[in-house]
Amino acid sequence: MEFEELPAPYTVVANLPYAVASPLLIRLLEARRSIPLMVLMFQREVAERLVAEPGGREYGLLTIIARLYADVRLAVKVSPGSFRPPPKVESAVVTVTPRPKPAVPIEDEAAFLRLIRVGFAHRRKTMRNNLCHAHLTAARCDALLRKAGIDPARRPETLGLEEWGRVYECCRTLGIQIGDWVK
């Protein structure tokens, strides 16, 4: 469905198909200017990723994308016994309230998202190693991360949204072109 064809504003209430819930959420966030509220049911693990805090296993790319564009809250967990027939997984309802503008100031949303993807490309590697995989020299990576106030030895899952925003801004001020990193 093309969400852009619906008359705005509209609220989305859905039990998303679990196999495609994450890409659907991203599509809904792309149409966020028309959607003041989303109430969505996910598989519990996906819901927990959406509301995870930095430093945990659940925290990652999806968490950052959702928080960039929306306030996300876990509303209620739903047991398998609530359905007939009961599924083999637990579910959770999440409220997603889109923001009028991204949570951190960014000029180029596509470049910011490429930076996040590069940062999480190798989850257990350090920020320095992940950025070096993006064709930056080790010295350039260290300079970028120091300017952003980030220890190059930190792992991507430990950085909060504001810290990712600082890394992005430092890329811009240092003239580092994120556009060629990842499509």
pLDDT of residue 124: 84
Identical topology for domains 3-98 and 109-180: no
pLDDT of residue 62: 95
Tens of pLDDT, residues 142-162: 999 999 999 999 999 999 999
pLDDT of residue 179: 62
The CATH number of 109-180 is which of 1.10.8.100, 3.30.365.10, 3.40.1440.10, 3.90.1010.10?
Answer: 1.10.8.100
Domain 3-98 has CATH 3.30.2350.10: no
pLDDT of residue 183: 42
> Domain ranges in the chain?
3-98, 109-180
Residue 166 burial (10 A CB sphere; 0-12, 13-18, 19+): middle
pLDDT of residue 53: 95
- Residue spans of the chain under pLDDT 70: 179-183
pTM for this predicted structure: 0.89
pLDDT of residue 75: 97
